[in-house]
Structure 1
Amino acid sequence: MKEIFTGGTGGNGGNGGAPPAPAALAAKVRTLAPSMTRSMQRVAEAVAGDPAGCAALTVTGLAELTGTSEATVVRTARLLGYPGYRDLRLALAGLAAQQQSGRAPAVTADIAVDDPIADVVAKLAYDEQQTLADTAAGLDTAQLGAAVSALAAARRIDIYGVGASALVAQDLAQKLLRIGILAHAMGDPHLSVTNAVLLRSKDVAVAITHSGSTGDVIEPLRVAFEHGATTIAITGRPDGPVSQYADHVLTTSTARESELRPAAMSSRTSQLLVVDCLFVGVAQRTYETAAPALAASYEALAHRHSPRSR
């Protein structure tokens, strides 16, 4: 049985790994802000909303601007992945320069009830693009590579997700099945746990939960973890409870939630990007068997839809 640890092994949160690049700063704020204290949220929102203005402030100045303390500013900088406030200021200056050059677009307004449909399309398209860019910028490629290796060598793969995440779980399962890898998407919480009991060291369990705290997803992952399976969490909250039972944590980002665009919509976009990265990585590792399997599935579908087959 593996030792249970606190916190995930992903390099996207806390102080681990190199500080995030300026382009990833806004993504870090969106991902971590919900788990921050209210005072830390004020600091995070300030630096994301006005990177140029905040880059010009001392730690005392930013504390006064946000109505917090110098210690809160430093703690926020460290939670975002920077050794100290000086490093955060450098990142803010870099982000401001990117925005001025047009390489980092400013945040658009939320969708309003009376927006014309053309504006809805434009705003949704921007948010989707930003969500994908944020997820790519914040994705720990070392964790991704380790997850790919585990999936490629797995005897069996169980994938857990509920609600919108269940759709993503099904997508990953059907992709893997098409290249000859035994994978099952578990939508029933009871079935998930009873199947997790049977997993062993050569098996893999994948939990997909944007909040990182969905009990119906965490419980089967815990059972799989304790029975020796390799466990993977795809989550928007790398500091959430699900990471406690994950060998590998893949962090997703999400666009800003609004009244007309719930978190489930944007989180699914980032989850699907991670799923595609996993699938392509596994297909690369297993190319000799994956390529013929894909060709066979394409041929079977083509035959099914051929007029002659009707």
Structure 2
Amino acid sequence: MLAQIRARMPELSPAERKVADHVLKAPHAIADQPIAQLAALANVSEPTVVRFCKRLGYAGIHGFKMALTRSLAAELPPSPVGVKSNEPLEETAAKVIDRQIATLIHTRNQLSHPRLEQAIECLASASRIELYGHGASGLVAQDAQHKFFRLGMPVAAYTDAHNHAISATIAPPDTVIIAISHTGRSRDLLDSLEVARARSVVVIGITGPGTPLARLADISLHADVDENTDIYTPMLSRLAHLALLDVLAVGVALRSGAEGRERLARIKHTLNQRRDLPDPPETR
């Protein structure tokens, strides 16, 4: 949540920024501060504190405090993973895997279920699904393409800026685009999505909170991962994005009911036939 507050600073009013600054300076103390005390320490009025909470998507101070407490409880260690060149390999492995586990738990705890439900409904009723992503996000898009393809849905993944620009120009209006980007600020990606949205194509963004992609998307699913992908190869954000797309694919599969299960069974039967090898000839 702290990363979300920092990312949304430009959207806040000057008074709301005072509340944000106070929260960022002493987040662990907020849970024990009544709204009057919080307002006094931030040098703002109590209604300003409530407006700040609502700006972040909470009904009031109580919901904000609960979400902040959960976020701090699942707080991740510093990025990238704190490994050292001279430490034993088992320590390095433990740090890398432990941080990956913590990232997935953090992503689960921060997930917006209403937005997730809305995204699944849009995907289940789409005539076609298209996935846009660059670099590591392109690999995530290709993985998701395989999952939706196995569900029998028309789907394509575009990792080249020219190709997704063409896609955005000609995709039918009942297409749903899933755009994947940790930073959410690739100009080529945003340009294509603006073209698609001008044609009333629904865009689902999988990105960090407060990014340009999050603001542009019709439905934004946040992966709030503290990872500097300007310097480091994406690892944690990639895992979070894969997990979110797995949830979307499973949700769409469940919507397909008996027909979807029968389709998956046929696919499994075809693949099993290709895996079964004849018994080797007997040797005398």
TM-score of the aligned structures, taking structure 1 as reference length: 0.71
- Bigger-Rg structure (1/2): 2
Name which structure has the greater RCO, CA cutoff 8 Å, separation 6+: 1
> Do the aligned partners of 1:43 and 1:76 also contact (CA within 8 Å) in 2?
no
Which stretches of structure 1, 4 residues or more, deviate above 3 A after TM superposition? 34-48, 52-63, 73-84, 86-95, 104-110, 255-259
Letter in 1 for 2:223: T
**Residue 208 (structure 2) aligns with:** 236
> Do the aligned partners of 1:202 and 1:229 also contact (CA within 8 Å) in 2?
yes
How many angstroms does 1:215 deviate by?
Answer: 1.8
**Residue 4 (structure 1) aligns with:** none
- Residues 120/186 of structure 1: CA separation in 2 closer, same or farther (3 Å cut): same
Alignment of structure 1 residues 202-213 onto 2, 5 Å: 202-213=174-185
Letter in 1 for 2:2: V
- Residues 90/235 of structure 1: CA separation in 2 closer, same or farther (3 Å cut): closer
Identity, % of aligned pairs? 28
TM-score of the aligned structures, taking structure 2 as reference length: 0.77
Distance in 1 separating the partners of 2:248 and 2:149: 13
Letter in 2 for 1:131: T
Distance in 2 separating the partners of 1:141 and 1:93: 17
- Residues 246/129 of structure 1: CA separation in 2 closer, same or farther (3 Å cut): same
SS of the residue corresponding to residue 234 of structure 2 reads: helix
Alignment of structure 1 residues 82-101 onto 2, 5 Å: 87=62, 90-91=65-66
Matched, 1:270 2:240: yes
Distance in 2 separating the partners of 1:232 and 1:93: 25
Q: CA RMSD in A?
A: 3.5
**Residue 249 (structure 1) aligns with:** 220
Distance in 1 separating the partners of 2:93 and 2:148: 32
Letter in 2 for 1:284: L
- Residues 149/89 of structure 1: CA separation in 2 closer, same or farther (3 Å cut): closer
Distance in 2 separating the partners of 1:89 and 1:143: 18
> Do the aligned partners of 2:227 and 2:237 also contact (CA within 8 Å) in 1?
no
> Do the aligned partners of 1:161 and 1:209 also contact (CA within 8 Å) in 2?
yes
Aligned pair partner of 1:282 in 241, 252, 260: 252
**Residue 137 (structure 2) aligns with:** 165
Matched, 1:304 2:281: no
How many angstroms does 1:176 deviate by?
Answer: 0.6
> Do the aligned partners of 1:160 and 1:186 also contact (CA within 8 Å) in 2?
yes
> Do the aligned partners of 1:139 and 1:251 also contact (CA within 8 Å) in 2?
yes
Letter in 2 for 1:59: L
SS of the residue corresponding to residue 264 of structure 1 reads: coil
> Do the aligned partners of 1:158 and 1:184 also contact (CA within 8 Å) in 2?
yes
- Structure 2: runs of 5+ lacking an equivalent: 11-16
- Residues 168/41 of structure 1: CA separation in 2 closer, same or farther (3 Å cut): farther
Letter in 2 for 1:246: A
Aligned pair partner of 1:223 in 192, 195, 217: 195
**Residue 38 (structure 2) aligns with:** 59
Distance in 1 separating the partners of 2:163 and 2:103: 32
How many angstroms does 1:293 deviate by?
Answer: 2.5
Distance in 2 separating the partners of 1:133 and 1:263: 21
